[in-house]
């Protein structure tokens, strides 16, 4: 297995020219852009001084029917009045097919139009759009902020994605960046970015938990740092739990306090929700908060204490702790093994969240970097290195493959080319050969997973290498190269080394694996290790038997009558039948013994064929032509 040299992008640097690089946190609720300037990493602000850009895009049409697209706070303001044309939380839809979204909240909220390839489109007043296009609008707005602040077009960006994002979601993120005209240096896992912002990558090794509670999602990841590489040991969380749920709990509390039986108009209801959010954020630093709402003659006031709020959300926070516990259990580790806990996401400002996290892990979490910004800041640091501004920077931080990648080989077995947890980018090559005489095509079946058999792994792609020149079995050399880029995207190529015929695929599965599925696949591989090893031995024994009978049959067909007595020939045919019968069973030792027996029985025949070959080759030559002339 050859490990091929990997070149990192942008390592050649003109020392006199700093490049403009930025890190982008493309969030479900809020997005940010950050950059390293004069040694300081900072988030970049819009003209009115806001760092956070609400991840919301409004698609309207002006009087003449021309489309008008607004992004950020202005779009968010339209969410209440024009919800159908205001797309929020597009990140939840990225790289997802209609089938996957069926029954989700988003499916009820937006008008999806089915398109080919199964990805969704959204119908708006300004025509149809897609989650990729919505994300591109957000990226464009941030990039513009970046180039205005940094004084020119950006040379490259690092965009963060959740650790559990699969290939399709990562590819959709890349597509959005391309649409926004951005040069993507790398996609980086959000928890990894947070760890980088805290400088944890400069440590030797250690276990870090990243607890990320955003607006509508909760992600918890366990990272292990070793030799400068972060490995995602386990991830978990809840895709429909976040700070917004706190808002709803607080709103119910406020309603109960106000006028339990008063029916609020929809507009008042919406304003109450906005008030609830404001109250929640205030309660992160104050012990009580007052609120008031007026509509016409109606004048409502009230106050909420932090204790009341905490009471109302305690079960939600407990739920996040349960997720964290599951992650630790999946990794087979206890809380005491964790070296540090990092808080990410605006909702971790809630004091109750901090308290519960601290009490579960038994140590104070790291909070001194703004939890809203920490991901963008880490991404900016990576971007600065990747764009080449730090030529003497140490080893670049890498992510690892979550599951092994391999190929289906004969007998339904999986040959792993790249083991799980291998740092990416990576390229590995291996040579395979043909199984049958004259085989002119080879099916390349790309697999993902830890188990030994095809049936237990996940199929990623299939393609065929055609035009292999006719040769005897085992003579063709098929070189298969697996290449995983820094974003975790896999390309596979196969070529016949003699003729150079090549076939290749880029693996872009439209439905990837969720973190639960990955965990499940890993668990089952551990549970079945013994069973798998036995199954592998059986399949290999059968394969050897099949290969021998195949070769012997073809030899008998060619030369059997010319070289063997009827009796010997019949004996060999019987041997073939007998071996075939045994190979149908599952006694590995017996299959091996019968294979060996037939192999020995056919040895004299093989020798006769060899002699015949030599005689043919020598025909028309004298011995002097082929034997070395002895010097006298």
Q: Which residues are catalytic?
A: 25, 91, 190, 212
3-state secondary structure 329-356: HHCCCCHHHCCEEEEECHHHHCHHHHHH
Q: In the complex with Mg ion, which residue's Cβ is closer, 72 or 214?
A: 214
Show Cβ contacts of residue 445 under 8 Å, excluding neighbours closer than 6 positions: 407, 408, 454, 459, 461, 462
Q: How far is the CB of 216 from ligand ADP (least distance, A)?
A: 6
174's contact among Mg ion, ligand ADP, none, with CB below 5 to 8 A by partner kind, is: none
Please say whether the beta carbons of 170 and 161 come within 8 A. Answer: yes
Closest CA to 417 of 630, 426, 586, 265: 426
Rounded Cα–Cα distance for residues 198 and 340 (Å): 11
Handedness of CA 466, 469, 472, 477 (dihedral sign): negative
- Pick from 30, 160, 323, 422 the residue near ligand ADP by CB under 6 A: 30
The yes or no reply on residue 29 touching ligand ADP (CB under 6 A) is: yes
Which strand (E) or helix (H) includes residue 383? helix 374-386
User: CB of 53 within 8 A of CB of 138?
Assistant: yes
Q: How far is the CB of 238 from Mg ion (least distance, A)?
A: 14
Number of residues counted as binding Mg ion (CB under 5 A): 2
Q: From residue 568 to residue 597, what is the string marking binding to ligand ADP with x (rule CB under 6 A)?
A: ------------------------------
Closer CB to ligand ADP, 22 or 344, in the complex: 344
- Could you tell me which stretch among 3-11, 40-48, 213-221, 231-239 binds Mg ion (CB under 5 A)? 213-221
User: How many H helices and E strands in the chain?
Assistant: 17, 29
Q: Rounded to an integer, what distance in angstroms lies between the CA atom of residue 402 and that of residue 398?
A: 13
Q: Which is nearer to Mg ion, 29 or 129 (CB)?
A: 29
What is the maximal distance between C-alpha atoms in the chain? 125
Give backbone dihedrals phi and psi of 340, rounded to 5 degrees, phi first: -150, 155
Per CB under 6 A, contacts with ligand ADP among 236-255 are 242-244
Shortest distance (Å) from residue 172 CB to Mg ion: 17
Query: For the CA atoms of the chain, what is the radius of gyration?
Result: 32
Binds Mg ion (CB under 5 A): choice among 10, 23, 27, 402:
27
The CB density around residue 232, as the number of other CB atoms within 10 Å, is 23
Shortest Cβ 286–ligand ADP spacing (Å)? 10
Alpha carbons 500 and 481: distance in angstroms, whole number: 14
Q: What sign does the dihedral 618-622-623-624 (CA atoms) show?
A: negative
Site string for ligand ADP, 369-388 (x = CB under 6 A): ---x----------------
State the binding string over 304-343 for ligand ADP (x if CB under 6 A, else -).
Answer: ----------------------------------------
Q: Rule CB under 6 A: say whether 399 interacts with ligand ADP.
A: no
Angstrom CA distances, 183 to 7, 83, 383, stand at 17, 32, 11
Omega of the bond prior to 194 within 30 degrees of 0, cis? no
Size of the site for ligand ADP (CB under 6 A): 21
**Cβ closer to ligand ADP: 146 or 371?**
371
CB closer to ligand ADP, 279 vs 465: 279
Taking the complex as a whole, the smallest distance from the CB of residue 53 to ligand ADP amounts, in Å, to 10
Q: Which stretch binds ligand ADP (CB under 6 A): 37-45, 144-152, 214-222, 594-602?
A: 214-222
Q: How far apart are CA 46 and CA 14, in angstroms?
A: 31
Both tokens of residue 158? 């690092």
The only residue of 95, 131, 191, 346 in contact with ligand ADP, by rule CB under 6 A = 346
Cα–Cα distance between 432 and 310 in angstroms, integer?
62
DSSP secondary-structure letter at 360?
H
Report in angstroms how near the CB of residue 25 gets to ligand ADP at its nearest.
Answer: 7
CA distances for 338 relative to 212, 213, 329, angstroms: 16, 19, 12
Residue closer to ligand ADP by CB (options 317, 481) is: 317
- 215 lies in the binding site for Mg ion (CB under 5 A): no
Residues 6+ apart with CB under 8 A from 148: none
Q: What are phi and psi of 241, to 5 degrees?
A: -140, 125
Q: CB-wise, 88 or 387, nearer to ligand ADP? A: 88
Q: From the list ligand ADP, Mg ion, none, which binds 372 (C-beta under 5 to 8 Å, kind-based)?
A: ligand ADP
Q: Could you say which of Mg ion, ligand ADP, none residue 347 binds, taking C-beta under 5 to 8 angstroms by partner kind?
A: ligand ADP
* Residue given tokens 């739920």 in the structure block: 319
Q: In the bound complex, what is the minimum distance in angstroms from residue 32's beta carbon to Mg ion?
A: 9
Smallest gap from Cβ 31 to Mg ion, in A, equals: 9
Considering CB distances under 5 to 8 angstroms, the limit depending on partner class, which of Mg ion, ligand ADP, none binds residue 217?
ligand ADP
User: Least CB distance from residue 464 to ligand ADP, whole Å?
Assistant: 43
* Helices marked H in 6-97: 73-78
Q: Which residues pair with 223 in a beta bridge?
A: 208, 232
**349 contacts ligand ADP (rule: CB under 6 A):** yes
Residues 440-469 as x/- pattern, contact with ligand ADP by CB under 6 A: ------------------------------
Q: Pick the closer one to Mg ion by CB: 90 or 119.
A: 90
The one among 72, 95, 131, 215 contacting ligand ADP by CB under 6 A:
215
Mode of pairing for the β-strands spanning 490-496 and 502-507: antiparallel
How far is Cα 237 from Cα 220, in angstroms, rounded to an integer? 5
> In the structure encoding, which two tokens stand for residue 602, read together?
């056919």
Stretch that binds ligand ADP, among 209-217, 297-305, 584-592, 622-630 (CB under 6 A): 209-217
DSSP string, 529-575: HHHHHHHHHHHHHHHHHHHHHHHHHHHIIIIIHHHS-HHHHHHHHHH
- Count other C-beta atoms under 10 Å from residue 196's C-beta: 26
Nearer residue to Mg ion within complex by CB, 220 or 417:
220
x-or-dash string of contact with Mg ion, 518-547, rule CB under 5 A: ------------------------------
Residue that has been written with the tokens 């024009």 in this structure: 82
Work out what residue 423 binds among ligand ADP, Mg ion, none; the CB cut-off runs from 5 to 8 Å by kind: none
What residues numbered 271-300 form the site for ligand ADP, per CB under 6 A?
A: 277, 280-281, 284
- Residue 214 as a binder of Mg ion (CB under 5 A): the answer is yes
Residue 134: contacted member of Mg ion, ligand ADP, none (CB under 5 to 8 Å, by partner type): none
What residues make contact with ligand ADP under the rule CB under 6 A? 27-30, 214-217, 242-244, 277, 280-281, 284, 345-347, 349-350, 372
What residues make contact with Mg ion under the rule CB under 5 A? 27, 214
């Amino acid at each position: 297995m050859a490990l091929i040299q990997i070149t990192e992008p942008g390592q050649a640097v003109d020392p006199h020219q700093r490049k403009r690089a930025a890190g982008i946190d493309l969030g479900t609720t809020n997005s940010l852009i950050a950059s390293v300037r004069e040694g300081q990493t900072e988030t970049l602000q819009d003209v009115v001084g806001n760092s956070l850009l609400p991840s919301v895009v409004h698609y309207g049409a002006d009087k003449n029917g021309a489309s008008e697209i607004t992004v950020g706070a202005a779009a968010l303001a339209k969410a209440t009045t024009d919800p159908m044309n205001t797309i929020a939380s597009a990140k939840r839809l990225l790289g997802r097919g209609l089938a996957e979204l069926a029954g989700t909240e988003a499916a009820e909220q937006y008008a999806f139009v089915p398109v080919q390839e199964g990805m969704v489109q959204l119908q708006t007043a300004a025509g149809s759009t897609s989650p990729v296009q919505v994300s591109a609008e957000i990226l464009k707005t941030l990039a513009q902020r970046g180039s205005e602040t940094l004084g020119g077009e950006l040379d490259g960006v690092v965009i963060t994605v959740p650790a559990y994002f699969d290939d399709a979601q990562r590819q959709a993120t890349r597509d959005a960046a391309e649409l926004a005209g951005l040069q993507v240096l790398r996609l980086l896992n959000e928890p990894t970015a947070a760890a980088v912002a805290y400088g944890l990558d400069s440590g030797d090794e250690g276990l870090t938990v990243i607890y990320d509670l955003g607006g509508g999602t909760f992600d918890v990841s366990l990272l292990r740092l070793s030799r400068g590489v972060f490995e995602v040991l386990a991830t978990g969380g809840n895709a429909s739990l976040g700070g917004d749920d706190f808002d709803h709990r607080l709103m119910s509390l406020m309603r109960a306090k106000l006028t339990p039986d008063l029916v609020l108009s929809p507009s008042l209801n919406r304003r109450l929700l906005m008030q609830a959010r404001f109250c929640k954020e205030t309660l992160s630093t104050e012990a009580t908060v007052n609120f008031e709402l007026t509509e016409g003659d109606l004048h409502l006031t009230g106050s909420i204490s932090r204790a009341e709020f905490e009471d109302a959300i305690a079960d939600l926070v407990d739920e996040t702790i349960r997720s964290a516990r599951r992650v630790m259990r999946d990794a087979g580790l206890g809380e005491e093994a964790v070296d540090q806990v990092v808080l990410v996401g605006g909702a971790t400002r809630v004091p109750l969240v901090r308290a519960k996290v601290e009490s579960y892990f038994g140590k104070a979490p790291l909070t001194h970097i703004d939890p809203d910004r920490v991901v963008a800041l880490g991404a900016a640091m990576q971007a600065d290195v990747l764009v080449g501004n730090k030529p003497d920077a140490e080893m670049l931080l890498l992510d690892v493959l979550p599951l092994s990648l391999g190929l289906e080989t004969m007998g339904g077995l999986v040959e792993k080319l790249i083991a799980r947890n291998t740092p990416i980018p990576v390229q590995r090559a291996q040579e395979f050969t043909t199984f049958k005489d004259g085989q002119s095509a080879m099916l390349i079946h790309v697999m993902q997973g830890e188990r030994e058999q095809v049936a237990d792994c996940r199929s990623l792609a299939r393609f065929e290498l055609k035009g292999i020149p006719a040769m005897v079995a085992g003579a063709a050399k098929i070189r298969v190269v697996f290449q995983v880029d820094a974003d975790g995207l896999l390309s596979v190529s196969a070529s016949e080394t003699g003729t150079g015929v090549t076939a290749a695929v880029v693996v872009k599965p439209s439905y990837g694996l969720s973190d639960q599925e990955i965990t499940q696949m890993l668990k089952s591989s551990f549970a079945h290790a013994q069973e798998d090893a036995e199954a592998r031995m059986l399949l290999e024994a059968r394969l050897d038997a099949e290969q021998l009978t195949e070769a012997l049959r073809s030899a008998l067909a060619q030369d059997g009558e010319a070289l063997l007595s009827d009796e010997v020939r019949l004996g060999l045919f019987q041997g073939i039948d007998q071996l075939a019968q045994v190979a149908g069973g599952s006694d590995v030792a017996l299959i091996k013994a019968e294979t060996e027996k037939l192999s020995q029985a056919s040895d004299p025949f093989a020798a006769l064929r060899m002699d015949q070959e030599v005689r043919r080759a020598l025909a028309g030559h004298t011995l002097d032509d082929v034997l070395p002339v002895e010097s006298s």
